[in-house]
Amino acid sequence: MALYEPKQFPTVWVTWLAKLMADELQCRWATWFRTHCKYEKLSSNFDSAKWNASHRALLDNRIADLQAEGCTVYAEGENWFEISGKNYSIKVSGKPDILVFEDEQVWVGDCKTGRKKNSDLYQVLLYMLLVPLTNSKCRGMKLEGRLVYPGEILQVSSEQVNEEFKAQSESDRHSQQPKPKSESPQLSGMPLL
């Protein structure tokens, strides 16, 4: 493969969109490039084995706790989705860490081993918006979110997946203008950061 080649169909991951919406990227072009091109990744000093082990341990502990409570839990690859845009030629892909079915409610959870970031919240909100469109078991059920950090679980209200959020998610896919911090979603009535 050359250094890069165009993708047959542009594909963006929820994690990339979340960083755009949270205004955490210094270079929006990089996301455009990753969405539109296949490329060889350069080596870095990021310790992916350590991150994978930490994430796996946090995820496994959370799954064990939920199963001990009698919940039906689906993890990672079981939750993978890809959805094609209605108005634009783009696919959005995602893989929530956890989907929990409890009575008439679904919890969308994502485990984070690093420091808290605004994009963590946007990522869960995007999952809450998109999962019912791609997973028939979630349609018509009440969706809530949870961000799982070591030693802390934060609740994410479904009320934040409102028309304003939907408009922001739509515009951030197509606009280069950053969103003011005052428009950030909130946890428990307070901005995440």
- 158 close to 3: Cβ distance less than 8 angstroms: no
Angle between helices 14-21 and 163-172 (to 10 degrees): 100
Give residue 5's Cα distance to chain centre: 26
Token pair 């909130």: residue: 186
Query: pTM for the full model?
Result: 0.84
d(CA 177, CA 121): 20
Q: Is 95 helix (H, G, I), strand (E, B) or coil?
A: coil
CATH classification code of 4-191: 3.40.1350
Predicted local confidence at residue 179, as pLDDT: 38
> H/E element holding 60?
helix 48-68
Give residue 90's Cα distance to chain centre: 17
Predicted local confidence at residue 181, as pLDDT: 40
pLDDT string in tens for the chain (193-residue length) = 568 899 999 999 999 999 999 999 888 899 999 999 998 887 788 888 999 999 999 999 999 999 999 999 999 999 999 999 887 788 999 999 999 998 889 999 999 999 999 999 999 999 999 999 999 999 989 999 999 999 999 999 999 998 888 888 776 655 433 334 444 444 444 344 3
Token pair 């469109």: residue: 133
| Pairing state between β 72-75 and 98-102 | antiparallel
Q: Which conformational region is residue 30 in: left (phi greater than 0), alpha (psi within -120 to 50 degrees), or beta?
A: alpha
- 37 close to 4: Cβ distance less than 8 angstroms: yes
